[in-house]
Amino acid sequence: MKKRIILGIIVIALISSIGTIVGLCVALSFDSKTAGNLTRLIGAMRFIESQYVQEVDEDKLIDGAISGMVRSLGDPHSIYLEPKLYSQLKAETSSSFGGIGVYMGFKDNRVYVLGVIPESPGEKVGLLPGDSILAVDSVPIEEIEPGEVALKIRGEVGTEVKLLIHREGEEDKTYSITRDIIKVQTVVGKMLDEREGYIRISNFSENTGKEFKSKLNELEQQGMKGFILDLRQNPGGVITSCVEVAQEIVPAGTIVSVIRRDGEKEVYTSNLQQVKFPIVVLIDQNSASASELLSGALQDTKAALIVGQKSYGKGSVQTVIPMFQDDGLKLTIAKYYTPLGRNIDGTGIAPDVEVELETPLPNSREIGTNNFEDAQLQTAEELLAKQLDSGKILFDDNG
C-alpha cells in the first residue's frame, strides 16, 4: 500500500510538472530538447519537494540549481550571487567600502593576493602580493566559489576575518584582520626629477579616469616631459574607466574591441590626435584585466614601451545581471581584443623589455627614495631618459 501511495505521488508530481512545462514551452516556443531538459529540472524539483525526508525551502532549491548551472561553466569569473553577495558586489567598485584592502586574482585553481592598498588592514598585518589564500574563516578555498572569495572577506566594519595564508619559503600562517572602511585613491604620482614623472594606478574604479587626468595635468604644470605609468599589481576593474585613461594617452584609433560569442562587437576608440608624452609602462605577473587592456593598447599603437614581467592573462569581460529577488549573476559575456586583434586571456602581455624584480614592490610613498632596489623602475627611468634625449620612442626597425 505504501509503495502504491508513493508511486501515485510520483505520478501526480510528474504529470503536474509535464503540464506546467508543456504550457511554458508552447508560450516560449521552445524546441523539444529544451522542453525535455525543463521536464527533468522541474520534475526533480517537484520530487524533492514532495519526497525528501524533511521539508525543503523552494527558494533554496532554485538558488542551488542556478548556482550549479553557473559552476558547470568552469569559469572562475562567473558566479551566482545570492542577495547578500549581490549587495556586497554592488559596493565593490565604489570609492569606499568595508574590507581589508587587498586585490585578488584566480589562477590554476588558487586565489592570490595581487595587491595591497597602503595603510589598509591587510598591509598593517603584513599581507604581501603573491600570497596565496588557503582558507577564509577556516573554510578551505576549495569549498568556496572563486568569485565569492572577495565577497566573503568583505563584511561589517569592525568585524574580524581570518585568512590562512601560504607564502613561498614560509610556513602557512593564519592572519586575523579587522575589517575597516577602505577609501581608495586609485591614482598617485610625483615628479622623479625636473622632467620625468611617475604615475601609479592601483586599480580602475569609477573615479580613476578623473583622477588620472587631474594627476596628468598637475605633473605637466610641474614641468613633466614624459612619464612612467606603473600598472604593476593592478588587478583591473571598470573597463569604461580604463578607456577614459586610454583616451588621454593612446593615439587616435581603436583602444579595445569587446566581442561576444555571436560576433557582436563593441569598439572603444580614442580621438587623441597628438601624443604629448613619451611613456614607459611597468607591468608584472599581477597586472590583470583592464591594466592589460591599457598596456596592450599602448604597446600595439607604439605609444609606449612596456617594461617588467609578463602580465596575468585575463582577457574576458564580466557583467552583473540583476535577477528577481535581490540576487544576481556575474557572468562572462565577451572577450576583449587589443588594437592589433590580440586576445591575451591565458597568455598575458609580454613586455618589450623583460626585467625581473627580486624584492617586493615598494608602496607609492617609497617611489623616488633610496629605501629599496627596484630594477624595473630603474630600467624604465633609463629608457624614458633616452626617449626624452632622442625625441622618439625606442622601437627598433622591426618594431
> Is 318 annotated as catalytic?
yes
- Specify the 3-state DSSP secondary structure of 281: strand
Residue 308's beta-bridge partner residues?
283, 354
Mean pLDDT of the chain: 85
Last residue of a domain, one of 183, 205, 230: 183
- Same domain (yes/no): 246, 267: yes
At residue 366 the predicted structure's pLDDT band, cuts being 50, 70 and 90, is very low
Residue owning grid cell 577614459 = 244
Q: Please tell me the distance from the alpha carbon of residue 85 to that of residue 142, in angstroms, as a whole number.
A: 18
- Same domain (yes/no): 256, 328: yes
The residue-averaged pLDDT of 347-371 equals: 70
Last residue of a domain, one of 137, 159, 183: 183
> Which CATH number belongs to the domain containing residue 147 in this structure?
2.30.42.10
Residue 365, pLDDT > 80, answer: no
The residue-averaged pLDDT of 192-220 equals: 94
- Same domain (yes/no): 176, 192: no
Query: Which residue has better confidence, 21 or 323?
Result: 323
- Same domain (yes/no): 163, 195: no
25 φ, ψ (degrees, to nearest 5): -65, -40
- Same domain (yes/no): 232, 175: no
pTM of the complete model = 0.70
Last residue of a domain, one of 152, 183, 214: 183
Domain-located, residue 347 = yes
User: What is the number of residues in the chain?
Assistant: 399
DSSP state of 237: B
HSE value, Cβ hemisphere, 13 Å, CA-based, for 43: 15
| Burial class of residue 74, CB neighbours in 10 A (0-12, 13-18, 19+) | exposed
Tens of pLDDT, residues 55-80: 999 888 988 999 899 999 988 889 89
Domain-located, residue 256 = yes
Q: Which one of 78, 88, 233, 289 is the catalytic residue?
A: 289
Domain that holds residue 122: 96-183
129 contacts 101 by C-beta, under 8 angstroms: no
Q: Please tell me the distance from the alpha carbon of residue 310 to that of residue 352, in angstroms, as a whole number.
A: 10
- Same domain (yes/no): 102, 236: no
Q: Which one of 318, 364, 376, 387 is the catalytic residue?
A: 318
Query: Which residue has better confidence, 342 or 28?
Result: 342
Give the pLDDT confidence score for residue 342 in this predicted structure.
95
Domain-located, residue 78 = no
Sequence letter at residue 307: V
- Same domain (yes/no): 297, 339: yes
Give the pLDDT confidence score for residue 360 in this predicted structure.
56
4 φ, ψ (degrees, to nearest 5): -65, -40
Q: Please tell me the distance from the alpha carbon of residue 292 to that of residue 316, in angstroms, as a whole number.
A: 11
Give the three cell numbers for residue 81. Answer: 550571487
Query: Which residue has better confidence, 355 or 87?
Result: 355
300 φ, ψ (degrees, to nearest 5): -65, -35
Highest-scoring range by mean pLDDT, 294-298, 326-330, 386-390: 294-298
3-class secondary structure per residue, 8-39 = HHHHHHHHHHHHHHHHHHHHHCCCHHHHHHHH
- Same domain (yes/no): 203, 249: yes
The Cα-based distances of 172 to 143, 163, 275, 309, 362 in angstroms read: 18, 10, 48, 27, 23
Q: Which one of 205, 314, 364, 387 is the catalytic residue?
A: 314
51 contacts 6 by C-beta, under 8 angstroms: yes
How many structural domains compose the chain?
A: 3
189 contacts 198 by C-beta, under 8 angstroms: yes
> Which CATH number belongs to the domain containing residue 234 in this structure?
3.90.226.10
Domain-located, residue 357 = yes
- Same domain (yes/no): 178, 230: no
- Same domain (yes/no): 335, 242: yes
Domain-located, residue 6 = yes
At residue 301 the predicted structure's pLDDT band, cuts being 50, 70 and 90, is very high
Tens of pLDDT, residues 23-35: 555 555 567 788 7
- Same domain (yes/no): 273, 356: yes
Domain-located, residue 282 = yes
Nearest to 376 by CA among 235, 279, 282: 282
- Same domain (yes/no): 15, 148: no
